Structure 1
Amino acid sequence: MKKTVLLLSSLFAGFGAFAQDSTSTTPGKFTFSGYMDTYYLGNFNNPKSQSNLGLNGSGVGNARAFDQKAGQFGIGLIQAKATYTADKVDAVMDLTFGTFADLGNYGNNVGLLGTPGSTALAIKQAYIVFKATPKLSFTAGQFGTHIGYEVIDAPVNYNYSLSNLFNNGPFYHIGLKAQYAFSDRAYLMLGVVNNVDNLVDNNKKKGLIGQFFFSPVSGWNVYLNGIISNEASQDVTGVKADDASYSLFDLTTTYQITSKFYLGLNAATGSQKGDYQGVGGPSTSKSWGGVAVYTNYAFTDKFGLGLRYETFDNKNGARALTDAAGNGASVNSITITGNITAADGHVLLKPELRLDSYSANKFEKNDGSLTKSQTTLGMAAIFKF
């Protein structure tokens, strides 16, 4: 608690410095952007449920984050993003709609009155950036997580389907963070947030987030990320908030080896114990982790090919990734994705082949039997502006 108070005091002291010098010398700039995507994925297992999710103990699978439908067309996400930029302040209002938006913002699906379908569900990001000095800035509001290699936005990721590291979160935070740039090749971010992937704070504790970025040489970026949070539900009888913890530490690094050849890596390890967000669980700590390697090559300015290999270990059962019996599991995934640019850069076509192989039976076949693996093949079409 003392660490949280000290960090908050430092952040608000910085806000005071900003307030003393808030004059702007040039007019602000307003921009509007967005995208929409649609996809079709065929599943070689031909599951009766027409789902890529597989099964778990409760009958609802968790093998994919967003591209859940098999053998049918689907709409992904529709984004409308407004940004205001000035000398002393930036503001971002990022709204999303569709099934992918619901999944990525799941902690906002119940409003403050306890009713489902809250308008907060459409808010992907809504934050203000105060620029106290050219080196120091403060961000307040709801913002996407700093953890991980991939993001929710389909045009930004090279692969269309999302990794298991992404699927197991976190997705977003609500709070206050400060960032200080030591140079154009190094900065430090520290912040205080309500908790992990939730509209409102589920207890009186606050989570701490951090990121250290440095670029050893031109084209090579390294991000060291972390979050430590108490996720206990305050109203669970007999469970103290101090008995539930969540921590995640993450390394993300990218290297543009040549103008055509790109390499990336994401490695993460996490742990949790106790009553995680009211779900319940033992007091002993459970861990999970994974590694994903990314590479892509641009054959021309309009066509490229990328490969992602990932291994994810949840055999302790800490996260939602399980086998068909509901037990913790591990998975190895290989994804090959093409990137085709058309219509003066406004349309991206992403043909994709993906193989997921679990440590135990996970996926259903058309005859009702189970298997450890599934292979999907499909195409995503993305329009951006």
Structure 2
Amino acid sequence: MKTKTVTKLFKKVCLFSLALISFTSIAQEEEEKKWFDNFSVNGSVDGYFRYNFGAQNDNSTAPATSFANESGFALGMANVILGYEGEKVGFVADLVYGQRGEDAVFNSTDSAQIINQLYAYWNVTEKFKLTFGNFNTYLGYEVISPTGNFNYSTSYMFSYGPFSHTGLKADIAINDNWSAMVAVMNPTDYTENNPFDTYIFGAQIGYSADNGSAYLNFRYGNEGEPGLVGPTFQADLTTGWDLSEKFYLGVNATYLTTEDQGDADASGFYGVALYPQFKATEKFSIGLRGEYFAEFEGGAGALVTDADGDGSVVAATLTGSYDIGNLTLKPEIRLDSTSEDTFPDNDNPAEFNKSLSSFVLGAIYKF
């Protein structure tokens, strides 16, 4: 009898001890989790040096693409991204300051010139998400932030496609691999308001796997004053795949056309770019961007064109990427070759050449 009593008492003591330990652990976890744990702060700062070979080194002699077009030592931008991720809802406030940031939000005024993205979202279910506000574009391979691109300079397709949108979009996870998105938005890059009373409709279908992804993107709508500017249609394919542990290949293809409100033909542009990359070591990678870009009826305003408004360019950019902790150095050699005389000659600025060779060294710190 005494043995049974001691055993029962021992069991009760053990159960009480386990319950006390569990309660203490839960209490400690609840106590350690603060209200600000759902907040995040990250971003980057960057700058660069650019030099032309065999051409004048001034701000007028540069590839007609975005951001890295100044001569000598130049500033990129300071980028701070504030975020809150709750169980169902959250927001992102993406702030930029500096030359690259100004170029990215060129249709903004006053205080909005520092806003790259500003949106709130609601995870309605595990498979359905609504986003409302100003968000960077879903089209194209490249992005505004230099931390998201392998090459430091940017492509023609990215530079003359949309940068950002303001509106409402719905993201739908169809299954583990397939996704879709639909959106209604202001005219492209009018992120503060809608001055034209017209809207753009966007759509995307995506497929992702362990070794890569592919997205087919669309946008359609009137980008300006009704009656003065016809509707714009753009189709864009973005894909990238790990071919092995060291080799990666990305591809971007796009086509854009804008209808004329008179009797003229539609104008626009199209292009394709390949992004092969090789990871040599844990810290160093090398990659090439080979791009062909053409415009018709002066549709992009990117190139010097012939009498019919047609022009094209082949641009090859070889970039190295070397990591030193959170700092990444990106030396690159770029060659732009156009169908028409475009770039001022070094010896005689009154004469123009069809090619430009340049060197860029970008420095990016990510936090």
Bucket of the pairwise TM-score, normalised by the shorter protein = 0.7 to 0.9
Q: Which residue of 2 aligns with 1:245?
A: 231
Cα deviation, residue 183, structure 1: 1.6
CA pair 133-48 structure 1, distance change in 2 beyond 3 A:
closer
Cα deviation, residue 202, structure 1: 2.9
CA pair 163-200 structure 1, distance change in 2 beyond 3 A:
same
Cα deviation, residue 232, structure 1: 2.7
Q: Which residue of 1 aligns with 2:163?
A: 171
Cα deviation, residue 47, structure 1: 1.3
CA distance in 2, matches of 1:232, 1:157: 30
Q: Which residue of 2 aligns with 1:140?
A: 132
Q: Which residue of 2 aligns with 1:357?
A: 337
Q: Which residue of 2 aligns with 1:320?
A: 301
CA contact (8 A) 1:244 1:283 kept: no
Partner amino acid, structure 2, of 1:156: G
Matched ranges for 1:331-350 at <5 A = 331-342=313-324, 344=325, 346-350=326-330
The gaps in structure 1 that reach 5 residues or longer are: 1-25, 55-62, 111-117, 235-239, 276-280
State which of 192, 195, 211 in structure 1 corresponds to 2:184: 192
Cα deviation, residue 282, structure 1: 6.2
Partner amino acid, structure 1, of 2:69: Q
Q: Which residue of 1 aligns with 2:289?
A: 308
2:68 equivalent to 1:67: yes
Partner amino acid, structure 2, of 1:339: S
CA distance in 2, matches of 1:151, 1:65: 11
State which of 288, 291, 298 in structure 1 corresponds to 2:269: 288
Q: Which residue of 2 aligns with 1:208?
A: 201
Structure 1, residues 161-200: CA drift from partner, whole Å, max 9, x if none? 0000001020000000001101221111001001111132
Q: Which residue of 1 aligns with 2:146?
A: 154
CA distance in 2, matches of 1:364, 1:286: 27
State which of 244, 248, 251 in structure 2 corresponds to 1:265: 251
Partner-residue secondary structure (3-state), 2:158: helix
CA distance in 2, matches of 1:50, 1:272: 30
Cα deviation, residue 269, structure 1: 0.4
The number of aligned residues is 330
CA contact (8 A) 1:96 1:124 kept: yes
Q: Which residue of 2 aligns with 1:380?
A: 362
CA distance in 2, matches of 1:375, 1:48: 11
Matched ranges for 1:21-32 at <5 A = 29-32=38-41
CA contact (8 A) 1:313 1:331 kept: yes
Partner amino acid, structure 2, of 1:372: K
Q: Which residue of 1 aligns with 2:225?
A: 233
Cα RMSD (Å) of the superposition?
Answer: 2.0
CA contact (8 A) 2:298 2:305 kept: no
Cα deviation, residue 65, structure 1: 1.0
CA distance in 1, matches of 2:105, 2:90: 23
CA contact (8 A) 2:55 2:356 kept: no
CA pair 173-165 structure 1, distance change in 2 beyond 3 A:
same
CA distance in 2, matches of 1:332, 1:220: 27
Farther-moved stretch of structure 1 (369-378 vs 317-326): 317-326
Farther-moved stretch of structure 1 (39-48 vs 355-364): 39-48
2:56 equivalent to 1:47: yes
Partner-residue secondary structure (3-state), 1:106: coil
Q: Percent identity?
A: 33
Normalised by the length of structure 1, the TM-score is: 0.82
Q: Which residue of 2 aligns with 1:96?
A: 96
Farther-moved stretch of structure 1 (355-364 vs 324-333): 324-333
Partner amino acid, structure 2, of 1:251: L
Structure 1, residues 108-137: CA drift from partner, whole Å, max 9, x if none? 1x3xxxxxxx11111100001100001000
CA pair 163-361 structure 1, distance change in 2 beyond 3 A:
same
Q: Which residue of 2 aligns with 1:58?
A: none
CA distance in 2, matches of 1:144, 1:282: 34
CA distance in 2, matches of 1:268, 1:48: 31
CA contact (8 A) 2:260 2:267 kept: no
Farther-moved stretch of structure 1 (308-317 vs 320-329): 320-329
CA contact (8 A) 1:220 1:253 kept: yes
CA distance in 1, matches of 2:41, 2:301: 36
Farther-moved stretch of structure 1 (172-181 vs 256-265): 256-265
Partner-residue secondary structure (3-state), 1:155: helix
CA contact (8 A) 1:324 1:363 kept: no
CA distance in 1, matches of 2:59, 2:223: 34
CA contact (8 A) 1:52 1:67 kept: no
Partner-residue secondary structure (3-state), 2:147: coil
CA distance in 1, matches of 2:269, 2:170: 29
State which of 18, 21, 38 in structure 1 corresponds to 2:47: 38
